[in-house]
Structure 1
Amino acid sequence: MLVSGALGAVVDMVGAVPDTDVLVVGAGPAGLALACALRLQGVSVRVVDAAPGPASTSRANILHARGAEVLDRLGALGELPERALTALTVTQYLDGRSAITVRFGDHGLGTARPALYVSQADIEAELRRRLHELGAGIDWGTALVDAAQDGHGVTGVLDDGRTVRCRWLAGCDGSHSTVRKLAGIGFPGVRLTEPFLLADVHADMPVDRAGGHGWPHRDGPFFAVPMREVGRAHDLWRFMVYDPAGGDSVQGEQEVLERIRRLVPERTGRTDIRIEDAVWTSVFRVHRRLADTYRRGRVLLVGDAAHIHSPLGGQGMVTGMGDAENLAWKLALVVRGLSADPLLDTYEAERRPLATGVLARTTTATRLQVGDTPLMRFLRRRVLVPLAAMPSVQRRASRLASQLWVTYRNGPLARGTRYRSGGRPRQGDRVPDLPCTRPDGTRTRLHAELGAQWALLAPAGDGADHLTEARGRLGDAVAPLDFETRHGRRELWLVRPDAHLAWRGGRTEASRLARWLDESLHPNRSG
């Protein structure tokens, strides 16, 4: 139980009317995505963040396709595609020459939402805009310092002494999560690297701005990624350089900038790169950590509060936003009394295996990039470069990075299907953004109907009994959509708000859908 001494005076608030359904701690991408998704489904939220205001700079600057789809379903994509760079390439150099250019994000991934080179700060701004539209705001400069939970909710204490009563507490407050620490949840892991230097700089870079660039070096790799800046010429770049020899000695923006200036010709072999000034700098080490559990009672962890890994591959934002979308519809059903709270255990069951895989892949990639042994140098030069030139490898890398492949078919909610796939999604799989028709004949996209609700896809004239059963258990937030399968079979699909297939069955099997919903929403109910 989450109880600490400072709350002795308020633990008698059991049964008190909550101030909000969900208290979200942390206004980064994961916290904002969770708050927006909850508001879309009618759940009251309060968002607090210890920072004095929104960040104008950030480490993350790649949003992969699944993250763009999440923003689309939340109504928070806004103008990001127009403002971002979308033709994503990574050029690798050997001996000062271009050795291979890897293209990703456009290899027939089945989505209209390509990966974007876009600042995390811009993404957060769109999410804040959407949250404001949905009737909620953010309390900046407000830290959670203590919390206690009971059978009815959680009482949080803020740094100004005020208390907040909520039904559920969501820790979206990053790798140093206060919520995680208050809940007593372990965060085991290891440090993977020595210091990296990171800087957003205005620079004269005589290389293609259509993608990123990487120069392997025995003393550590150097990376350059183009960024956009409103109202300025296209000269903003993000530099990231591994600096195990000197990174510990630099302090402050100017020292970081001067150190990078010295390393540019050494690592790239080029003398024609001119750095003007820095917008932002940082020094960091890569850690790999995974929380012991994503849930303790009425406390849940989301995003970096639950898992951290190498930034190589740009998997941080997309994983955290996926966590948020997965949790939101489940938490909404529980808050509205439509499901028992054991449904929330499926959040960890579905998302933790994904985080484990992401940690493993990014750890391997990082060790291959920064390893300075003869074996690692041989692998980089003689094995990885030839492999990366193969179209099949590029397609697989693009698919892995996109996270569109993510499936929960082995999770606790993907059971009881009697159908083979036959090229169709299986229970737990992501359903593509299919063209559909509303009952009034209006053409629409599947993903445009999700986020706030479920969707029941059925051939024209079918599905009335299924819709009755679904709405009887999920409420009115189930949209009936006409859709003809391409395989000649008249079957129906129930799609979750996060675009994963919940159930698939025949036109006469409404009772089977009802049974699946009853077992999923109330897993401990007898009979």
Structure 2
Amino acid sequence: MQSTEVLIIGAGPTGLTLACSLAAHNVPVRVIDGASGPAATSRANILHARGVEVLDRMGALNGLHEQALAPLGMAMHVQGRPLATMRFAPVDGESVQALFVSQASVESGLRRRLSELGTEVEWGTRLTDLEQDGDGLTAGFASGTRLRAAWAVGCDGAHSTVRGRTGIEFPGVPVVEQFLLADVRARWDRDRSTSAGWFHRDGILLAIPMRGIGEKTREGGDLWRLMADIPAPAADERLDERQIIDRFEQIIPARAGDGGVKIRGAEWTSVFRIHRRLAADYRRGRVLLAGDAAHIHSPIGGQGMNTGIGDAENLGWKLALVTAGRAGIGLLDTYTAERRPLATEVLAGTTANTKILVGERAVTRVVRDRLFVPLLNLPAVQRNATRTASQLWVTYRKGPLGASSRGRGPHAGDRVPDLDCRRADGTRTRLHAELGCAWALLLPPAVTDPGALLAAAREYLGGHVTVLRPHEPAAEGVVMLVRPDGHLGWQGPPAAPHLTRWLTRVLGCGQAQV
């Protein structure tokens, strides 16, 4: 029977990001997926700033900028009248912003990086069984083969086999009964410099110009993503591609007031109910969940891929330390403690926004049309909406590894901005360029000899520690240890015993049971 240290089930953005993180930490990993090969359809079509930042740290961003579009604005219409244009402003003080790029392109970049790290996805390998015991777990596949692993991570989506076999509850509620989605080729005499949304008494219609494979710009193209809610289906109703296109040819004139649109064909269609669901826990024994296997919510706002990638990066460095024997099992419980509250917040936000935009009740439509949509013209509202979507605000300050100290930040658990730094040899770099699989020890000018601090960090964390000197230190005389995911782990005086005490406490984590 073959064996590995970590088995990842699911080769979407979440599973691939986790696999890249573990492989970069030299953890033996296998990645399986029941599909016969990579998906060619776009599916998610926006990577928000935090996702861009993570892929950059992973070394998986090369080429994505050339395949992507800059963030679009969205022209909002109520009963056919343009009322507001929501612009996606750059986040103040940040060097990254969202990219309109297909999930297929994101996955391709991650697979390329994973291959560089010596690991390939095993396609056509469907998980059928997963059993835990005192020493690890055994996975069974449809082919009849079996595999031993120390850990398994379910990144296998909303209908997760891993979650089902593990017995983790996945409670939730429906948000919208039926939504249509289609990427279509259409002859449409419409400005492609912005997306558009129409709010009608019958429901919402969204149209997003997209760039096809090989196309240099969206201007002059004919590829559009269409989304619309429709009444709940009959119990036995199943819409095929032709029926979905026919529905959109009816919806566009009714909701957008434009009867001149001709849809020539579809590249991808989908019919789905929007649910809000959240796993009761992200770990049971030696099995963990990430991405859509742990949480699902409305696609409006494009938070799904971003949140899953964030899960993977948070889990990656922790699982790497545990598998190397440098941290106790309890460190993995901080994964749920840090990421599940964020998912709760994201689910609440996407649900509220979806209900407002869809406007199923008359009073909701009045609030939407007369208050919510006009407010989107305000620059302050646009800046806040862009930052909220970016997830650059994420903090773990209230988690078990954080510190809710008063005063000016950053505090333990906060994301550290991409600081301008110098390496030990004096060459310039950026903080986030040195992370990914490494910790960063940020030293103030007063510390001329970092030997004792570096030795203490490497004794506990291994060789994945780099020394940097920020161009503008956060506080005079304070040393900072930044986690591989860009969050502040520890800060304190330049004395090795202080750092050692923190590392002992965090990596011990109570030695919780498997």
1:79 Cα deviation from its structure 2 partner: 1.2
1:251 Cα deviation from its structure 2 partner: 2.1
Match status 1:126 vs 2:113:
no
Identify if the C-alpha distance between structure 1 residues 228 and 382 changes in structure 2 by more than 3 Å, giving closer, same or farther.
Answer: same
Match status 1:63 vs 2:84:
no
1:145 Cα deviation from its structure 2 partner: 0.4
Q: Match for 2:291 among 286, 298, 303?
A: 303
Q: 2: CA distance between counterparts of 1:67 and 1:281?
A: 25
Q: 2: CA distance between counterparts of 1:334 and 1:525?
A: 11
Match of 1:469 in 2: 456
Superposed CA deviations along residues 270-318 of structure 1, whole A, max 9, x for unmatched, are 1233322111111111001011110000000000000000001100000
Match of 2:31 in 1: 47
Match of 1:340 in 2: 328
Match of 2:80 in 1: 96
Match of 1:235 in 2: 222
2:203 is paired with a residue of what secondary structure?
coil
Superposed CA deviations along residues 72-129 of structure 1, whole A, max 9, x for unmatched, are 0110011111221113212101232321111125131x33221011100110111111
Q: Match for 1:453 among 435, 438, 452?
A: 438
Matches within 5 A, 1:242-261: 242-244=229-231, 249=237, 251-261=239-249
Q: 1: CA distance between counterparts of 2:361 and 2:7?
A: 48
Q: Match for 1:523 among 504, 509, 513?
A: 509
Match status 1:490 vs 2:474:
no
Q: 1: CA distance between counterparts of 2:333 and 2:214?
A: 47
Farther off after superposition, 486-495 or 134-143: 486-495
Matches within 5 A, 1:148-297: 148-232=131-215, 234-244=221-231, 249=237, 251-297=239-285
Q: 2: CA distance between counterparts of 1:117 and 1:86?
A: 6
Kept in 1, the 8 Å contact 2:83–2:374? The answer is no
RMSD of aligned Cα (Å): 1.8
Q: Give 2:323's aligned amino acid.
A: V
1:459 Cα deviation from its structure 2 partner: 2.4
1:241 Cα deviation from its structure 2 partner: 0.9
Q: 2: CA distance between counterparts of 1:262 and 1:513?
A: 65
Match of 2:496 in 1: 510
1:238 is paired with a residue of what secondary structure?
strand
Match status 1:479 vs 2:466:
yes
2:176 is paired with a residue of what secondary structure?
coil
Identify if the C-alpha distance between structure 1 residues 59 and 205 changes in structure 2 by more than 3 Å, giving closer, same or farther.
Answer: same
Q: 2: CA distance between counterparts of 1:452 and 1:473?
A: 15
Identify if the C-alpha distance between structure 1 residues 245 and 287 changes in structure 2 by more than 3 Å, giving closer, same or farther.
Answer: closer
Kept in 1, the 8 Å contact 2:173–2:276? The answer is yes
Q: Give 1:474's aligned amino acid.
A: L
1:221 is paired with a residue of what secondary structure?
strand
Q: 2: CA distance between counterparts of 1:245 and 1:525?
A: 50
Farther off after superposition, 90-99 or 77-86: 90-99
1:486 Cα deviation from its structure 2 partner: 4.9
1:462 Cα deviation from its structure 2 partner: 4.8
Q: 2: CA distance between counterparts of 1:410 and 1:107?
A: 24
* TM-score, length basis structure 1: 0.92
Kept in 2, the 8 Å contact 1:459–1:484? The answer is no
2:200 is paired with a residue of what secondary structure?
coil
Q: Match for 1:366 among 336, 354, 365?
A: 354
Q: Give 1:520's aligned amino acid.
A: V
1:469 Cα deviation from its structure 2 partner: 1.0
Identify if the C-alpha distance between structure 1 residues 19 and 488 changes in structure 2 by more than 3 Å, giving closer, same or farther.
Answer: closer
1:490 Cα deviation from its structure 2 partner: 2.4
Kept in 2, the 8 Å contact 1:103–1:394? The answer is yes
Identify if the C-alpha distance between structure 1 residues 466 and 210 changes in structure 2 by more than 3 Å, giving closer, same or farther.
Answer: farther
Q: 1: CA distance between counterparts of 2:257 and 2:238?
A: 23
Match of 1:23 in 2: 7
Matches within 5 A, 1:415-454: 415=403, 420-422=406-408, 424-454=409-439
Identify if the C-alpha distance between structure 1 residues 525 and 63 changes in structure 2 by more than 3 Å, giving closer, same or farther.
Answer: closer
Superposed CA deviations along residues 384-440 of structure 1, whole A, max 9, x for unmatched, are 02322222222211111000000000010114x8x7542x41110111111111111
Q: Give 1:82's aligned amino acid.
A: E
Structure 1 residues not aligned, in runs of 5+: 1-15
Kept in 2, the 8 Å contact 1:484–1:490? The answer is no
Q: 1: CA distance between counterparts of 2:363 and 2:5?
A: 54
1:59 Cα deviation from its structure 2 partner: 2.5
Q: Give 2:250's aligned amino acid.
A: R
Q: Give 1:504's aligned amino acid.
A: Q
Superposed CA deviations along residues 16-49 of structure 1, whole A, max 9, x for unmatched, are 9x71110000000100000011111111110110
Identity of aligned residues (%): 54
Superposed CA deviations along residues 423-475 of structure 1, whole A, max 9, x for unmatched, are x4111011111111111122111111111111111124253322111111101
Kept in 1, the 8 Å contact 2:419–2:471? The answer is no
Kept in 1, the 8 Å contact 2:42–2:104? The answer is yes
